[in-house]
Amino acid sequence: MADPDRAAQAAEAYDKAYDYELKYGCCPQCVLATVQEVVGHVEDHAIKASHGLSGGGGMSGVGICGALSGGLMALSSKRGRDRNKFERGKFVGNFQLGNELVKRFEETFGGVTCAHLQQQFTGRTWNMWDAEEYRAFDAARGDRCARATALVTKWVVEML
């Protein structure tokens, strides 16, 4: 990344996303809100729509990490295909960027699911729908989810 302004934006994005995740939770929203504030391209409705992606989708733990799904949405907010352009092709360039983000995430964390990160960060998986288990998970993970959220956000800002 040669652009010093982009490097400063990426550093700012890391710090903001980290703080947002610790303070508010919901990693995909934290990624998108930070990208919106730092570089733009993300509309409020996208932030709202990402809410259900948290915790591997519906807080299930089984799907893709919410931070990663938020990052994919952020990339698509700028580079994705608009509804009125369906007939113009698949917009493969956005898929390439998304694939790059997924590969980078997987190389860093060894997997892409919320359950994988729970296991990596805490040594086990958790039922986030059980209040006691969620509190225990929250304590056990410390700031690890916030760091993952911040890292994804930094990468996305670098890629945009």
* Rounded distance between C-alpha atoms, residue 22 and residue 59, angstroms: 17
Domain assignments of the chain as residue spans, ordered by start: 4-159
Q: Are 6 and 157 in contact (CB under 8 A)?
A: yes
Q: Are 88 and 52 in contact (CB under 8 A)?
A: no
* Rounded distance between C-alpha atoms, residue 101 and residue 110, angstroms: 13
* Rounded distance between C-alpha atoms, residue 142 and residue 135, angstroms: 11
**Tokens 């039922």 identify what position?**
127
3-state secondary structure of 113: strand
The helix-helix angle for 92-109 and 114-122 (nearest 10°) equals 20
**How confident is the model at residue 118, as a pLDDT?**
96
Low-confidence stretches of the chain (pLDDT < 50) are none
**How confident is the model at residue 2, as a pLDDT?**
63
Q: How far is CA 127 from CA 18, 26, 63, in A?
A: 24, 16, 13
Against a cut of 0.95, is the pTM above it? no
